[in-house]
Amino acid sequence: MSEMMDKSTVNPDEDTVSLKSNGKTPTNDSPVKLGMMKSFKKSIQRAAEKSLLSPGGKGSKGTPKANVTESGSQPPLSPGPSVGSPVTPGKDSDSDISHPLKRSKTADPSMPSTDSFVRGSIRRSLPFVKRKKSKSVGEGLVEEKKEETEEEEVVLAEIEEIYTLPEIPHSPLSVMQISKLIETEVLEEAHLNLLALRREFQQEQDQSGGDAPMELAKKEKDLSLLYGDLRKKINTIVRDSNSVPSRNQELLLLTARIIQEEDKRAEEPGGLPGSWMEAWREAVEEGVQAKVKSVHLGQGEQKEQKEQREQSASWLAVHLGLLGKTIIEDLESVKRELQWSYPPSFKVFSTYVRSYHRVVAQHLKKVEQQVTERRDLYSLLNWIINTYKSETIMGSLSLQPDMNDESTDLQLEENFLKQLKEKYCCRVKVDMKSSLNKIIELENEEFWKDRRMPEKDDEFLNSEFHMDIWTQVKSNCQNSRVIDAELELKVLSSCLEELKGFPKRFEEEFNRLCGALKPQPPLG
């Protein structure tokens, strides 16, 4: 045996290869294989000791590898067997063979082959265990990223549409027990016992022939209360699922199966009226409403909103920006995680998109009632007509290709957009009148009040205020053109309509000021 060990020690690489290739587990009856394991261990010890004894973790150039002894100052490290090939050491074998290899911080870079061998065995045994990303670079990191991608593909596999209902109990639990199961979200067991109670009710109803109406009425009431609790619990789970989608994956699948089963049994006695699928859509919309309502400046007392508006001149633009960010982040989460918790027939992504179309439209109607300034009305119009359907939100590349078959338009109430445009045009007209009045005031301050002589151009009186008017009209038209051509024409019409009365007002003020300059007749 010593000769074998000496030979194996001479060529440790050969032993390592043979151990990997034969795939057999060494036992007490196999001294040759055990010796090969010992020699393999010693070769690893030498490499470790070399790293520990050498400065910088590398062997000294002046010290040959063969001269390194096994009596280093620190205990040698020993490799553990792979997960796929457990070793059962005998009495004569070293006990530390069973310990896993712990690599020193100063380990020699030449040792990764053994480490990767052990890690490879573990990975083959646990292919879907989630691992932290390695900080090292090179081949190991590439393999780890590849395995994480494969794991993600498994997690995001599409849920099967068809399912097999577990066996319904012969005797249901008590009403209190079923209620407790619903409360603690043990939904599958609660639903199966509800089905058992419902089946029991149907059988008694068929057998009674109209007798014992009080007993049947009590059981029907129990069923109604329990089903009501179950629907409320499902509503809560679904409503909150877009806030913590990953935590609820299994729970959402259970709710989906319950909804499917209950819709199948909709015509049978003992259940709740109304579609469970429709109740699910309502719960989704409630979750979307909570998201929209949580956006900054989207809710709160009017006093608080007023203070915030005073602090920020563009409060609505900020709010709409945050709203758009919330929408896109939520839909990305639905696409990435949430929709994989339901069967395809639920059309989860489409349901959330349509819910946002409705909920956001309702939200904007409430916001519009608080908007009075022209710049805020413009921000609201531009966000509805352009921004919402652009690449910033519903047209985002991150939502493709799921958005290909979806509408990108808000579900606004009829005439809402028309009324909003009219409100904007009226505000433009009011601001235009205010600007023209300001021009008259400036003329008074600069010329009449200080009695400054007007400028002349080729013996004609000259004033630049007409340029101020032209700039104001041009700015209004250009801004409204960004929204749409129809609005541009309406804005231009509003400006011209207000300009009609300006010459007369200017003339009246001019005559009044000129009259004030005439000498007054002597008194008496």
- In the structure encoding, which two tokens stand for residue 222, read together? 């129990």
- In the structure encoding, which two tokens stand for residue 452, read together? 């400054």
pLDDT score for 3: 44
- In the structure encoding, which two tokens stand for residue 177, read together? 């027990």
pLDDT score for 238: 94
CA distance linking residue 424 with residue 419, whole number of Å:
9
Specify the residue for token string 């010593």. 2
Mean pLDDT for 465-490 is 90
Which amino acid belongs to residue 359?
V
Instruction: Check: pTM over 0.85? Answer yes or no.
Output: no
369: nearest Cα among 413, 313, 430: 413
Q: Residue 426 — very low, low, confident or very high, per pLDDT cuts 50/70/90?
A: very high
pLDDT score for 233: 96
Reported as a single tens digit per residue, the pLDDT across 98-141 is 344 343 333 343 333 333 333 333 333 333 333 334 444 444 54
| Cis omega (within 30 of 0) for bond into 454 | no
Instruction: Give the 3-state secondary structure of residue 438.
Output: helix
Reported as a single tens digit per residue, the pLDDT across 315-342 is 899 999 999 999 999 999 999 989 999 9
238: nearest Cα among 267, 278, 184: 278
CA distance linking residue 516 with residue 520, whole number of Å:
9
Beta-carbon contacts of residue 257 (< 8 Å; ≥ 6 apart): 163, 165, 188
Integer angstrom CA distances of residue 496 from 419, 429, 438, 492, 493 = 21, 9, 17, 6, 5
Buried b (16+ CB within 10 A) or exposed e, 308-333: ebeeeeebbbebbbebbebbbebbeb
- The yes-or-no verdict on residue 20 having pLDDT over 50 is no
Mean pLDDT for 12-19 is 41
pLDDT score for 443: 76
pLDDT score for 277: 96
pLDDT score for 231: 96
Mean pLDDT of the chain: 74
Share of the chain above pLDDT 90, in %: 46
Reported as a single tens digit per residue, the pLDDT across 272-315 is 999 999 999 999 999 999 999 999 864 444 445 555 544 556 78
Reported as a single tens digit per residue, the pLDDT across 220-231 is 999 999 999 999
Specify the residue for token string 């300001």. 438
Instruction: State residue 31 phi and psi, 5-degree precision.
Output: -65, -30
> Would you give the DSSP letter of residue 387?
I
Q: Residue 403 — very low, low, confident or very high, per pLDDT cuts 50/70/90?
A: very high
Reported as a single tens digit per residue, the pLDDT across 337-394 is 899 999 999 999 999 999 999 999 999 999 999 999 999 999 999 999 999 999 999 9
Reported as a single tens digit per residue, the pLDDT across 163-201 is 999 999 999 999 999 999 999 999 999 999 999 999 999
Q: Residue 522 — very low, low, confident or very high, per pLDDT cuts 50/70/90?
A: low
CA distance linking residue 374 with residue 476, whole number of Å:
10
Q: Residue 212 — very low, low, confident or very high, per pLDDT cuts 50/70/90?
A: low
CA distance linking residue 304 with residue 3, whole number of Å:
90
- The yes-or-no verdict on residue 397 having pLDDT over 90 is yes
pLDDT score for 507: 83
